[in-house]
C-alpha cells in the first residue's frame, strides 16, 4: 500500500502558503493590493515570440527531448554573442520545460541519494533544498567552501546574480569555485537565470573562458527566458555545459518523456535571436527600480546588494525588525513582499521586493511609501 506523505513529508513547507494573512491585510487597503511578493512578469509577451508561436502552431507530432537543431544552435549562438561563451557545441545543450523542473529534479536525474552531499548558497531559492530533500541527500547551505569539512559534495550550486539578493559574484570568486570543484570531482551547477538583468557592474557566466578556462568540464549552467523575455507562461529554459553530463541527462529525460513542446522551442529560438525586446523590457524595469528604490530609502529602508535581478533586497538593519515584521509593516500599507526568511536564516532581517508590477501599481507603492 502506498504510504501517503512519504515524499511530501521530507519537503519543507511551501513558503508562499505562509503569506496568506499578510496578503489579506494588503488587499484591505482602500486602493487595493500592490503585490511585489512573487517575481512573475506582468508586461506583454514580445511580438517576436507571439509571431513565432503562431508560425509553429501546426505541430501534430511529438517533439524530441534533445530539442530541434534550431533551438540548440540558438542557445549556442546566444551564449557566445551575449555572454562570451566559446567552444560550446549543440550536443552540450538541452531545452527545459522551464528551469525550475531541472533545479528540483537534477539530484534525482544524476542518481544522488542518501549519503550524498549537496551544497547551495546561504541565501537561496528554496528549490535547491527541495531537490536534495526529494532524494534524501544531505544539504548544506553556505557561501564558504570550507563549510563541508572533510566531506566532498557530489553537487554544488552557485547562483549569480542571486535570487533573492541580486548579488553578483566576482569573476575571481567564480574561478576559485570552478578550480575547487574540478580538483575534487564535484559537479558545479550555476543558476544564471538573471544574467540579463544587471543594473550595476558586470555579471559573467561560469562558462565564460576567463572563469572556466574555455572548457565546460564539470560545469552546467541553467538559464530561463521567463524574466528576460516575459515567457514565464511558455516554460522556456535550457541547461548547457559538460558534454557527458548533458548526455546522461538526455538519456534520463527521454525515458521520462520530458519534452519541451515543439512550438515553444520555435519561440525560444526566435526570442534568443532578438535583443530589441530585451532592451525595451530592461528599461521598463530600470525605471520601476529607480522609483521604488528611492521611495523605500526615503521611507527609512536600506537596500543591500540588488545590483542585478528583479528584486530589491530590503532591510532596516541588523538591529531592526525581522523579515516577518517587515512584511506586516508593508502589508499595512497595502504592499505585499516576500520575507527574507523564505531564503534561509541569512535573510531573516530582509524582505525581497519584486519589480514585476505594472507602472500604475509601482506608482501606487511609491505614493504610499512617501506619503
Domain end, chosen from 273, 298, 321, is at 273
pLDDT of residue 9: 66
* φ/ψ of residue 49, rounded to 5: -75, -45
* φ/ψ of residue 211, rounded to 5: -105, -45
Q: Are residues 169 and 295 in the same domain?
A: no
Q: Are residues 256 and 333 in the same domain?
A: no
- Alpha-carbon distance of 349 to 314, in angstroms, equals 8
Q: What is the CATH number of the domain that holds 36?
A: 3.90.1150.10
Q: If you average pLDDT over residues 341-352, what whole number do you get?
A: 95
Region class of 321: left (phi > 0), else alpha (psi between -120 and 50), else beta = beta
Q: What is the CATH number of the domain that holds 71?
A: 3.40.640.10
Q: Are residues 153 and 164 in the same domain?
A: yes
Domain end, chosen from 246, 273, 300, is at 273
The pLDDT of residue 10 is above 80: no
C-alpha cell recorded at residue 361? 501599481
The pLDDT of residue 3 is above 80: no
- The model's pLDDT over 170-219, given as tens digits with 9 standing for 90+, comes to 999 999 999 999 999 999 999 999 999 999 999 999 999 999 999 999 99
Q: Are residues 102 and 147 in the same domain?
A: yes
Return the number of other C-beta atoms located less than 10 Å from residue 367's C-beta.
Answer: 13
- H or E element that contains 224: strand 219-224
Q: Are residues 253 and 285 in the same domain?
A: no
pLDDT bin (cut points 50, 70, 90) of residue 17 is confident
Share the mean pLDDT of the chain. 95
Does this model's pTM top 0.85?
A: yes
Q: Are residues 180 and 299 in the same domain?
A: no
Q: Are residues 61 and 163 in the same domain?
A: yes
Domain that holds residue 302: 8-44+277-370
The pLDDT of residue 2 is above 80: no
Q: Are residues 138 and 235 in the same domain?
A: yes
pLDDT of residue 227: 94
| CA nearest neighbour of 12 among 141, 155, 129, 137 | 129
pLDDT of residue 367: 98
pLDDT bin (cut points 50, 70, 90) of residue 8 is low
Q: Per the structure, how many domains does the chain have?
A: 2
- On whether residue 234 sits in a domain, the answer given is yes
Q: Are residues 136 and 172 in the same domain?
A: yes
Residues of the chain above pLDDT 90, percent = 93
- On whether residue 3 sits in a domain, the answer given is no
The pLDDT of residue 13 is above 80: no
Q: Are residues 195 and 149 in the same domain?
A: yes
Q: Cα separations (Å) of 209 from 85, 170, 206?
A: 7, 14, 8
**Exposed, middle or buried, 348 (CB in 10 Å: 0-12/13-18/19+)?**
middle
β-sheet bridge partners, residue 97: 236
- Alpha-carbon distance of 231 to 181, in angstroms, equals 33
The pLDDT of residue 4 is above 60: no
Q: Are residues 103 and 251 in the same domain?
A: yes
Amino acid at each position: 500500500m502506498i504510504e501517503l506523505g512519504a515524499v511530501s513529508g521530507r519537503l519543507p513547507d511551501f513558503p508562499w502558503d505562509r503569506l496568506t494573512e499578510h496578503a489579506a491585510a494588503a488587499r484591505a487597503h482602500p486602493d487595493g493590493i500592490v503585490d511585489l511578493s512573487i517575481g512573475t512578469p506582468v508586461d506583454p509577451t514580445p511580438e517576436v515570440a507571439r509571431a513565432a508561436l503562431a508560425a509553429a502552431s501546426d505541430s501534430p507530432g511529438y517533439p524530441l527531448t534533445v530539442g530541434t537543431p534550431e533551438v540548440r544552435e540558438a542557445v549556442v549562438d546566444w551564449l557566445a554573442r551575449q555572454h562570451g561563451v566559446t567552444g560550446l557545441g549543440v550536443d552540450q545543450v538541452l531545452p527545459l520545460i522551464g528551469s525550475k523542473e531541472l533545479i528540483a529534479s537534477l539530484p534525482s536525474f544524476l542518481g544522488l541519494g542518501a549519503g550524498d552531499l549537496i551544497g547551495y548558497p546561504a541565501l537561496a531559492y528554496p528549490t535547491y533544498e527541495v531537490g536534495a530533500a526529494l532524494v534524501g541527500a544531505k544539504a548544506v547551505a553556505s557561501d564558504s567552501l570550507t563549510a563541508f569539512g572533510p566531506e566532498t559534495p557530489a553537487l554544488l550550486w552557485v547562483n549569480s546574480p542571486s535570487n533573492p539578493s541580486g548579488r553578483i559574484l566576482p569573476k575571481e570568486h567564480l574561478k576559485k569555485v570552478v578550480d575547487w570543484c574540478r580538483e575534487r570531482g564535484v559537479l558545479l551547477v550555476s543558476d544564471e537565470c538573471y544574467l540579463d538583468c544587471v543594473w550595476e557592474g558586470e555579471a559573467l557566466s561560469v562558462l565564460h573562458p576567463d572563469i572556466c578556462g574555455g572548457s565546460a568540464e564539470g560545469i552546467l549552467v541553467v538559464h530561463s527566458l521567463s524574466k528576460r523575455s516575459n515567457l514565464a507562461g511558455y516554460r522556456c529554459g535550457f541547461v548547457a555545459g559538460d558534454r557527458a553530463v548533458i548526455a546522461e541527462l538526455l538519456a534520463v529525460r527521454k525515458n521520462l518523456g520530458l519534452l519541451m513542446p515543439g512550438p515553444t522551442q520555435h519561440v525560444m529560438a526566435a526570442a534568443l535571436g532578438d535583443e530589441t525586446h530585451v532592451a525595451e523590457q530592461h528599461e521598463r524595469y530600470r525605471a520601476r527600480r529607480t522609483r521604488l528604490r528611492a521611495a523605500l530609502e526615503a521611507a527609512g529602508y536600506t537596500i543591500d546588494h540588488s545590483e542585478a535581478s528583479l528584486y530589491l533586497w530590503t532591510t532596516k538593519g541588523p538591529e531592526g525588525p525581522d523579515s516577518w515584521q517587515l512584511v506586516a509593516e508593508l502589508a499595512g500599507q497595502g504592499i505585499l513582499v516576500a520575507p527574507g526568511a523564505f531564503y534561509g536564516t541569512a535573510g531573516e532581517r530582509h524582505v525581497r521586493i519584486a519589480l514585476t508590477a505594472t507602472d500604475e501599481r509601482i506608482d501606487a507603492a511609491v505614493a504610499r511609501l512617501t506619503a
